Amino acid sequence: MSDHPKTPVVPVVPVEAFEPPYYVAVFTSVRSQEQDGYGETSARMEELVKDVPGYLGMEHAQTPGGLGITVGYFRDADALTRWRTDAEHRVAQRRGRAEWYESYTLHVAKVERSHGFTRAETRRDPRAD
């Protein structure tokens, strides 16, 4: 395949601790045996979400056992609604339930406090306890 989607660039620094309140969407999933088109759609969604006003960032990791954890960060509930109801995203959601996911859980939550720690420089938030 000459044009298969690039592997998403994995951040080596955690998404920052934004100023609360903001929203996190925690999406945990186990994929099915049917993965045709998943990679392309996933890469497309990763690009598309960046256009959502209020989108702050996203992180994804996966266990060897197949549990995936995706965390999306959004400025407010409206931003999340825009992403949830995006027409192209809705098509992807439907296809996900029909084909790609064995099971998933979505938790939408309002961040009340956050802090970050960086070894080299703790300027981001010195209250790192």
Considering only residues 49 to 78 of the shown chain, the ones binding its own copies according to CB under 8 A are: 59-69, 71, 73
* 6-33 core/surface letters (b: 16 or more CB in 10 A; e: else): eeeeeeeeebebbeeebbbbebebebee
Q: Which helix (H) or strand (E) holds 26?
A: strand 22-31
> What is the residue whose two structure tokens read 């996933």?
42
Does 106 engage in binding with its own copies (CB under 8 A)? yes
> What is the residue whose two structure tokens read 């992403």?
83
Does 48 engage in binding with its own copies (CB under 8 A)? no
Point out which span in 9-17, 36-44, 45-53 binds its own copies (CB under 8 A).
9-17
Judged by the rule CB under 8 A, the positions of this chain that interact with its own copies are: 10-17, 23-24, 26, 28-30, 32, 59-69, 71, 73, 90, 93-94, 97, 101-119, 128-129
